[in-house]
Structure 1
Amino acid sequence: MLWIEVDRTSQIPIIRQVYQQLRDKILKGELVSGEKIPGSRELASHLHISRNVILEAYHMLLLEGYIITKPNVGTFISEGTLLRQNILSSPQKTDDNEILLDQSNLDRIDFRSGIPALDLLPLKKWSHIKSQVYLDSSYNIFGYTHPKGCLALRNSICKYLLRIRGLSCHPEQVVITSGSIQSFSILSNLLLKNNDIYIIEDPLHIEIKKTFAFNNPNCYSIPVDQEGLQTQLLPSTLNPKFIFITPSHQYPLGEVLPVQRRIELIEYARSKNCYIVEDDYDSEFHYMGAPVSTLYELAPDSVIYVGTFSKILFPALRIGYIILPPILVDSFCEYKKRSDYFTSVVDQITLSQFIDQMFLDRHVHKMRKIYLQRRNALIESLNSSFGSSVTIHGESTGLHLIASFKDVQFTEDLVSFIALQGLKIHPVWLHSSFKNFQKNSIIIGYSHLNHQLINKGIKLLKESLTTWHLGPPYTSLK
């Protein structure tokens, strides 16, 4: 008699249990082609279950071709039902990003950059607007829409950018995406062919580099200095398809590209008939004077502007946007259509109303004050703990700053050691293509950390460096 187990406490229906066990025995060859299987009454009696359960399981196997019936003879295993089994490899190690909410990981302080203060989101306002969208909108919002995105949101973004950044554009140039990474991915597919070359600044966020390299690895890196991209190093012998840059707040170093270099960059792009891709990822949060103007304002014919709401609201929203020259809009939308068709309509309309009712402006204004306080707390803690042994730069804008330490090399071993002490740090060199690039510098994101966690994190950093026996000046740190 067949060995089949029935678990009456399982959430899987008994019919399904019988079917799956018989199917698996057939696929593995434990029940071979041509072999007769027990009758329904016999198997039901053996398992102490209803005959109807067996009949239904047999019926499922019959429909899928695992068994055949011969009138007045019996039920048999069909031909060609043996499936060779492959041995699965062991699962890979879980990535850090997959365990952000793991309880065992909550005590670790992470100086990761670009994370907004999620505990301070205006969720009541957001939820109220979203509820009203569900209740008051036409049923059409639950259907398909154009890959370009909702016109209402594109209009709202244009007004917002004019108000906040002084940037003037038309809604027909705006395409809604699922965030900056999708914008970059579609752009690289759209603009690059097999042997085409593109230019990036170095260092540059490693995830952006990987996004471009996934489609085309032929990048030409130009190092940045204290004034951003070194435009004098732009290659005269190459014909790039685009130049990627973060001019308002270079990532990760935080430098601002001056107007002289902006003009040189624009003139170079025009001479090469290529585009400039401007990533304006966190410029809403400026702490020293007025915000820096966009590159797009100087040359809307040559610049593709990319923005996101991940930094000013929350990453899970998955809404970004891109401002394109009119000639690229239709082609970009076609790629977007093949990617995910369109971004959530309900969230787009909610965001549109959130912007139009000035809630986004108020939230940005509020968070700018809070992030300034957290930035100042971080600077004070660094100076108090390390004194003249630390140099701080890139702190005028955004959600992170750079701290450079004397006589420290943040090697992989040191980074791992510090992680074991409960602190995750992010060296600048991870984002550079050049060997030994600023091994003494780390990126410290502070926007998602309150004052207590900031001070605790810097204390852990100091203790870790001291324990690592780096020698002066750290062995004498007070």
Structure 2
Amino acid sequence: MVQLQQDGVARRIIAAIKAQIHSGAYRPGDRLPSSRAFAAEWGASRTTVTAAYNQLNAEGYLIIRQGARAIVAPGLERASGEAPITAAQPRSLSAFARRLLALPPPVEQQPAKVADFRYGDLSGADFPVLAWRRASTKAILQRAARLRYGDPQGSSVLRNALQAYLWRARGISCTPDRIVIVNGSQQGLDLCARLLLDPGDPFVIENPGYLLARHAFVAAGGVAVPVAVDADGLSTDALPPARLAYVTPSHQFPLGGVLSATRRRSLLAWAKATGATIVEDDYDGEYRHDIAPIPPLQTLDAESVIYVGTFSKTLSPTLRLGYLVVPPGLCRAFSEAKRLTDRHAPLLEQDVLADLLTSGAYERHVRSIRRKNAERRQVLLRALTDHLGSRVTVAGADTGLHVVAWMNGIAAEREPAIIAAARAAGIGLYPVSPLYDPSEPRPGTAGFVLGYAGLDTEALRRGIAVLAPIFAEHR
């Protein structure tokens, strides 16, 4: 403890002397007080002051000679008219950085106390702790004799296990060398943006749609071409030429529509005709409630579609593991881009996940949480009906882990006031309007995205019960 205190005093002495030199109070050739005098002035030990002087000597700020007082080193004088150095001066930023900073920042809020309906959260109680711990222990004990960087596309063991799982669960036929393991689907989208778009290139994106996908493509220099969606997903009647189209065909985010068979064929034909690449984000494909599983677009055209998957909606968003299934001609580009970005995803977590997939533990877990989230969904829908009745229209309830609640009779401009009132009552509520392209008209009715996978059934009931009178006040 004493040593830590001395180190702290020495750091403060060093910082104070540097500040005096930078400000011009001490100039080259000036002598500093003796270590004894400085120690008395600061109330520090002489040993501490001597250590600080020696550090400044090593950094070139002071010159120390035996038997003489320390002097300020030459070359540190301030130029005439130069302002004192107080902080690092801003550097010029790249075009990418300027585009990035021009995007609206996310609104971060602390979790609400009564019920937080933020989409993307999962219940901590649902995580398969025992299965993960067993697989983790096994992976640690089987560590290689030599620790080294791995394949940028991901562990071959995991890619083999994932290839088999995708065939069983989603009907995707691919070889392991076409799978790229990424740090969450967001990194996958960022790689797609960097590899498929040049500045000025147009990209088609659903309106409304996933905001961070739009931001990834805009930051890369792409120009958004928003296309409206309805109950049948993306409207494909008059798609413009573009380099890329980002879609969520199995469960449109956020409105929940499923891309119809006719529109699927139309979208794929458009991609073939224009040479565009389709980025298919199957972010919650494991959750089907009242409908049969929808085959991915990738199963219809493996050459035009990049399939994006994630474990954030089944295991945990904190795990940061996702994957891409890319066309054969793009494998090397994605592999090299991943290598430059971060070498590869964490190998221990990949080994653990591979064990869960091969042992069947992952699919058992998915079946379990599918039942739990189906129950949560039923409780939420029942609560909305009981407390709001015809005053609410629910969209997107057949699949996924959220619904959109349109509040009939409440204007969209009332959303901020409703959100503030809900937050004051301990409810986290999130509007759908920011998910619309800012250049396009937005709905006139207030709408909210209600995620339910992070809440227990009692919190869902209480949350809607608290919200009902707040909505009534704003009709």
User: Normalising by structure 1, what TM-score?
Assistant: 0.88
1:331 matched to 2:333? The reply is yes
Q: Give yes or no for contact 2:6–2:48 (8 Å, CA) kept in 1.
A: no
Q: CA deviation at 1:248?
A: 0.5
Instruction: Give the alignment partner of residue 425 of structure 1, picking from 421, 424, 429.
Output: 429
Instruction: Give the alignment partner of residue 351 of structure 2, picking from 331, 349, 352.
Output: 349
Q: Give yes or no for contact 2:203–2:222 (8 Å, CA) kept in 1.
A: no
Partner of 2:218: 213
Partner of 2:386: 384
CA, structure 1 residues 202+351, in 2 after alignment: closer, same or farther (shift >3 Å)?
same
Instruction: Give the alignment partner of residue 75 of structure 1, picking from 70, 73, 81.
Output: 70
Q: 1:254, 1:150 → 2: CA distance?
A: 34
Determine helix, strand or coil for the equivalent of 1:447: coil
Determine helix, strand or coil for the equivalent of 1:440: strand
Determine helix, strand or coil for the equivalent of 1:176: strand
Q: Give yes or no for contact 1:427–1:439 (8 Å, CA) kept in 2.
A: no
Q: Give yes or no for contact 2:396–2:403 (8 Å, CA) kept in 1.
A: yes
Determine helix, strand or coil for the equivalent of 1:231: coil
Q: 2:348, 2:232 → 1: CA distance?
A: 42
Where do 1:358-437 residues align within 5 Å? 358-411=360-413, 412-433=416-437, 434-437=440-443
Q: Give yes or no for contact 2:200–2:222 (8 Å, CA) kept in 1.
A: no
Determine helix, strand or coil for the equivalent of 1:407: strand
Determine helix, strand or coil for the equivalent of 1:406: strand
Partner of 1:317: 319
Determine helix, strand or coil for the equivalent of 1:36: coil
CA, structure 1 residues 460+45, in 2 after alignment: closer, same or farther (shift >3 Å)?
closer
Q: CA deviation at 1:197?
A: 1.3
Q: For 1:319, give the aligned amino acid.
A: L
Partner of 1:241: 243
Partner of 1:456: 462
Q: CA deviation at 1:136?
A: 1.7
CA, structure 1 residues 119+466, in 2 after alignment: closer, same or farther (shift >3 Å)?
same
CA, structure 1 residues 47+243, in 2 after alignment: closer, same or farther (shift >3 Å)?
closer
Deviations along 1:96-128, whole A, 9 cap, x unmatched?
Answer: 54x64xxxx551522111222222211122122
Q: For 1:61, give the aligned amino acid.
A: L
CA, structure 1 residues 60+185, in 2 after alignment: closer, same or farther (shift >3 Å)?
same
CA, structure 1 residues 73+451, in 2 after alignment: closer, same or farther (shift >3 Å)?
closer
Instruction: Give the alignment partner of residue 197 of structure 1, picking from 202, 211, 217.
Output: 202
Q: For 1:55, give the aligned amino acid.
A: T
CA, structure 1 residues 47+403, in 2 after alignment: closer, same or farther (shift >3 Å)?
closer
Q: How many percent of aligned residue pairs carry the same amino acid? A: 31
1:277 matched to 2:272? The reply is no
Determine helix, strand or coil for the equivalent of 1:37: coil
Q: Give yes or no for contact 2:112–2:428 (8 Å, CA) kept in 1.
A: no
Q: 2:170, 2:444 → 1: CA distance?
A: 32
Q: 1:30, 1:143 → 2: CA distance?
A: 51
Deviations along 1:260-284, whole A, 9 cap, x unmatched?
Answer: 1111111111011111110000010
Instruction: Give the alignment partner of residue 190 of structure 2, picking from 177, 185, 193.
Output: 185
Partner of 1:175: 180
Q: For 1:366, give the aligned amino acid.
A: S
In the alignment of these two chains, the number of paired residues is: 450
Partner of 1:27: 22
Q: 1:161, 1:314 → 2: CA distance?
A: 19
- Structure 1, unpaired ranges of 5+: 1-6, 471-478
Partner of 2:170: 165
Deviations along 1:142-192, whole A, 9 cap, x unmatched?
Answer: 421121111111111111111111111110000010011111111111011
1:127 matched to 2:128? The reply is no
1:39 matched to 2:30? The reply is no
Q: For 2:49, give the aligned amino acid.
A: I
- Structure 2, unpaired ranges of 5+: 79-83, 91-104
CA, structure 1 residues 95+292, in 2 after alignment: closer, same or farther (shift >3 Å)?
closer
Q: 2:8, 2:306 → 1: CA distance?
A: 55
Q: Give yes or no for contact 1:425–1:442 (8 Å, CA) kept in 2.
A: yes
Partner of 1:147: 152
Deviations along 1:46-93, whole A, 9 cap, x unmatched?
Answer: 66655443332221111101111356653211234365214999xxxx
Partner of 2:58: 63
Partner of 1:440: 446
Partner of 1:229: 234
Determine helix, strand or coil for the equivalent of 2:410: coil
Q: CA deviation at 1:358?
A: 1.0
Determine helix, strand or coil for the equivalent of 2:299: coil
Q: CA deviation at 1:419?
A: 2.4
Q: For 1:187, give the aligned amino acid.
A: C
Partner of 1:109: 115
Q: 2:114, 2:122 → 1: CA distance?
A: 17
Q: 2:6, 2:107 → 1: CA distance?
A: 32
